Amino acid sequence: MKDYSVTTAVCPGSFDPVTRGHLDIIERAAEVFPRVVVGVLENPSKKPLFSLEERVELIRAAVKHLPNVEVDYFSGLLIDFVRKVEGNLIIKGLRAISDFEIEFQMAMNNKRMAPEIETMFMMTKNEYSFLSSSMVKEIVRFGGDVKDLVTPEVEQALRRKYFA
């Protein structure tokens, strides 16, 4: 009989900042898998609004009710991070067909480099299908309301960035 002693699922992303769309995927992954590690990508070439530490802290605050979720960060290849945390699965959220092309490329390349690691996709919740970190930043910057889209901590942090 095969040993199914899996599994740690890794939810990677830049989370600049984390949105309710991300959190929906993380929460659902935490329902299905015994251990979920959120991997925050450092990626300095993307010039994030929030520092790595700020992004990690905002996610930690948002997932503190989920005992099987950890938050860590990485730079470089995702597969190296997955191996480091002894993960065997990458979970990604899909919003629209437009996400598919790039996610497909990444999944293929990761599979080529790390055949032991699977990538699985979860469809976004309908109400978050239009939601991205960059949209949230634009809305706050121009004075709009994002209460339904992010946690109160993230909303406050965004206001501080733009208006403090």
- The residue among 70 and 99 lying less far from ligand ADP, judged by its C-beta, is 99
- The residue among 1 and 31 lying less far from ligand ADP, judged by its C-beta, is 31
| Smallest gap from residue 25 Cβ to ligand ADP (A) | 5
Where along the sequence are the contacts to ligand ADP (CB under 6 A)?
Answer: 13-15, 19, 21-22, 25, 92-93, 95, 99, 124, 128, 131-133
Q: At what angle do helices 52-62 and 152-163 cross, to 10 degrees?
A: 150
CA distance readout (Å), 66 to 45, 62, 97, 99, 146: 31, 9, 30, 27, 23
- The residue among 7 and 27 lying less far from ligand ADP, judged by its C-beta, is 27
The closest of 153, 154, 132, 136 to 145, measured between CA atoms, is 136
Which DSSP helix (H) or strand (E) runs through 13? strand 8-13
DSSP code, position 18: -
| Smallest gap from residue 148 Cβ to ligand ADP (A) | 12
Active site residues: 22, 46, 95, 133
